[in-house]
Structure 1
Amino acid sequence: MECRYETLKPYQLTGAVQMYEALGEESYKEFVLNHLGGLKALEGTAGSLPMQDYLAYFFAYGQTDNEEYRQKIDTAMISNEWTLEFMPFVTAYETSYNRKEHYNEIAAMFRNKEAFTGNDLVALIETISQMSEEIYEYYRELRDLFKVIVKEKMKDLPDSPEILEIGYSILKACNIGVLQRDKYSNFGELVWNNIAGNDNQTCVGLENMIRAQYTILKKQEV
């Protein structure tokens, strides 16, 4: 996977993590670890990490047991404002390290949102995927909210300018049991057909996320 940027575009590391999880190809893991290993700060300077990709620190910590990654996780939690883009990371932290104590505040971030963009929809499904179903009240609330939003956004397919965000969210939701595969996977197929012919070495994160989720979807059908 030949791709190097001083400043990553959003979802590039997330795309690589998901491709590694879908295919098991070491080049994707190396891409993530090489970039994270070279970062010196989490602030918005050259060489820093987009907030959408902060989850990659959990991946790196799990792969290496390097305590520097755990320190990065703790630093990110105390130094960033809570936004929708940050909620997948916050949820992962709460689930893994903080006994899920702030699930209500996480749910409220989405509950109080009046209108959702495609990026907000991605943040929502990523948050759901990091949330423990053991705290079913909040898991169910976000799951039900996702279903309402995605049904509205699907009405604009295939002409929506947010087709990639919607399609990814549908595929991911099918793979984690939020949506029924037999009812919704054809919409994922629609989006897959939009990118299937693109060069998969261009390192565009959201397209790699779609590729990964589509691959996982097809494996589950076997």
Structure 2
Amino acid sequence: MDVRNAVKHRENYDSIVTYFKTLKTPGMDQMVLLIDTIEQMSPEIYEHYRALQDIFRMRLKEMLAGGNPGPQEQLAYIIQKGCSTGTLLREKYESYLD
């Protein structure tokens, strides 16, 4: 699925959520794609928007608990963007942004 194009049309939101739910262990590239998708989605379609935020939080928590979340630059990128979209609380993740 080409998520970057699909997010441009609200009728695809359900498919996008399904796509990210079915990823078993998303890597850093998928996490970047996920937070970029959240940023581009319309929050007016709350159910799908919130579902993606929940997936992002859960996957990020799993990555950080695993001890090797990936490249520091990408980790800082997704956390920064997560904070700017309101998906993450900045206070909770500030230590990863230094």
Q: TM-score, normalised by structure 2?
A: 0.88
C-alpha RMSD of matched pairs (Å): 1.6
Q: Deviations over 1:81-134 (max 9, x none)?
A: x2xxx313321x21xxxxx11110111110111111010100000000011111
Task: State the AA in 2 paired with 1:181.
Answer: R
Aligned length: 98
Match of 2:72 among 146, 163, 180: 163
Q: Which residue of 1 aligns with 2:86?
A: 177
Q: Structure 1, unaligned stretches of length 5 or more?
A: 1-81, 95-99, 190-222
Change (3 A) 1:133 1:161: closer
Give the structure with higher Rg (CA): 1
Match of 2:37 among 124, 127, 140: 127
Compute the displacement of 1:160 (Å).
4.3
Alignment of 1:1-222 (within 5 A): 82=1, 86-91=2-7, 93-94=8-9, 100-156=10-66, 160-189=69-98
Please tell me whether the aligned partners of residues 147 and 179 of structure 1 are also in contact (alpha carbons under 8 angstroms).
yes
Structure-2 separation of matches of 1:154 and 1:174 = 16
Q: TM-score, normalised by structure 1?
A: 0.41
Task: State the AA in 1 paired with 2:79.
Answer: I
Change (3 A) 1:176 1:160: closer
Please tell me whether the aligned partners of residues 174 and 185 of structure 1 are also in contact (alpha carbons under 8 angstroms).
no
Please tell me whether the aligned partners of residues 121 and 165 of structure 1 are also in contact (alpha carbons under 8 angstroms).
no
Task: State the AA in 2 paired with 1:132.
Answer: S
Compute the displacement of 1:156 (Å).
4.7
Compute the displacement of 1:169 (Å).
0.6
Identity %: 33
Q: Structure 2, unaligned stretches of length 5 or more?
A: none
Please tell me whether the aligned partners of residues 6 and 13 of structure 2 are also in contact (alpha carbons under 8 angstroms).
no
Structure-2 separation of matches of 1:141 and 1:160 = 22
